[in-house]
Amino acid sequence: MNVVAIYEPIAGAEATVHARAWCEVDLDAVRHNLAQLRAAAGVPLIPMVKADAYGLGANAIVRLCTQFTNDEAPWALGVATVDEGTDVRKAGWSGRILCCSPVLPAEHTRMCEERITPALHTEADILSWRRLGERPWHLSIDTGMNRAGVAWNEAHTLADVVSFHPPEGVFTHFHSAGDNESSRSLQEQRFADALHTLALPASTLRHAANSPALAADAERRARPMWDLARPGIALYGSPSSSALQLSPVLHVFARVVDVRNVATGETVSYDATWTASRESRIATVAIGHGDGYRRAFSNRGIMQLRGQPVPVVGVVTMDMTMIDVTSVPCEVGDVVTVLGAPHNRRNADGAEHLSIDALAELAQLSPYELLVGWRLRLPRVYRSAT
């Protein structure tokens, strides 16, 4: 992957450095979002940097996290695989790393070597980990996600092993915290019941709040329960919460590589799904689903050109997407905003931002899968004023 690490504005350089399409990652926005999430949670954070920091580049995000003072620094960084944890170490993080997904016993030795804390939920795995020495681990309890962890109503089966080998922490994961308060309450009660059954030491750290839970709590002006919080996508600017006041982190731009006139009745792109109802000017933008701009945006996506919204017309192809620029001046080489703030207008009205949430809704996609998709091919530029 081509990653361009630039830590200051490169005014005038884009024409040669980024001739086609690129992502810009605002590290100051990440720093701001971390501060907002710390304030909202009121407890130490475990920011998730899995999946290459949700596609934004884990190396840069991890390096940013190493710059905080003790009071501001994350309690740990969260990953989903042992390889991701290893990469976090290589990026310079010397603090705790929590792998929140299940791992195989064969991976335990490497986790010890890299000082990666596992999430365990079976007696066999706990004993396997314990044989490597007295090292921290976290107990995963399933309260309704049905994905990983010991079932809350079967927690009693681990009572003996955790009494001899108590975990550093214990956690669960909400499945609908942002949409369904009653489901969250049920999961919290199940979690509390499991904790009561296990009778863990009072020093055991408890955590459950994810990004949707933190946003919901901020809206209700309530503090999340327990001792730690695990923000993921919120670190990168989603959800669009007025209470959290998160800043957009990712901005995606692409250049116009062709402009042509299309006569009334002519079609555009594969399968002829769009037909010109008038004499039209169609611009070809150098970005497609091979870059992360999903085929789902065909005939429904919106981009911005010269600060004006322009519709996607026809099917999004692997390398190119067509937009209708009939009503907007357009030339080959113009920069189109695909996601985020209008190009060279960082202080534009918030209504002009193409947010990850708004784009995901247009394409009927999850913001999560849309966010991670940009890492396919596009170079990334990191910007920071500090």
**CA–CA separation, 120 vs 100, rounded Å?**
9
293 is a catalytic site residue: no
Pairing of strands 302-305, 335-339: antiparallel
Q: Give every CB contact of residue 323 below 8 A, 6+ residues apart in sequence.
A: 282, 283, 285, 303, 305, 310, 311, 312, 313, 336
**CA–CA separation, 240 vs 306, rounded Å?**
24
Sign, Cα dihedral of 142, 147, 150, 152: positive
Nearest of 212, 62, 200 to residue 138 by alpha carbon: 200
Asked whether the beta carbons of 295 and 258 are under 8 A apart, the reply is: no
**CA–CA separation, 26 vs 169, rounded Å?**
32
* Residue 210 Rama label (left phi>0; alpha psi -120 to 50; beta): beta
270 is a catalytic site residue: yes
Asked whether the beta carbons of 251 and 24 are under 8 A apart, the reply is: yes
**CA–CA separation, 213 vs 179, rounded Å?**
9
Residue in 7, 90, 270, 368 annotated catalytic: 270
Residue in 7, 50, 90, 293 annotated catalytic: 50
E-strand stretches of the chain: 3-4, 21-26, 76-79, 96-99, 116-120, 138-142, 150-151, 169-171, 205-209, 228-229, 250-262, 267-268, 274-275, 280-285, 302-305, 308-311, 321-324, 335-339, 380-383
Q: At what angle do helices 27-41 and 58-65 cross, to 10 degrees?
A: 60
**CA–CA separation, 313 vs 6, rounded Å?**
34
Q: Give every CB contact of residue 362 below 8 A, 6+ residues apart in sequence.
A: 297, 300, 301, 302
Residue numbers annotated as active site: 50, 270
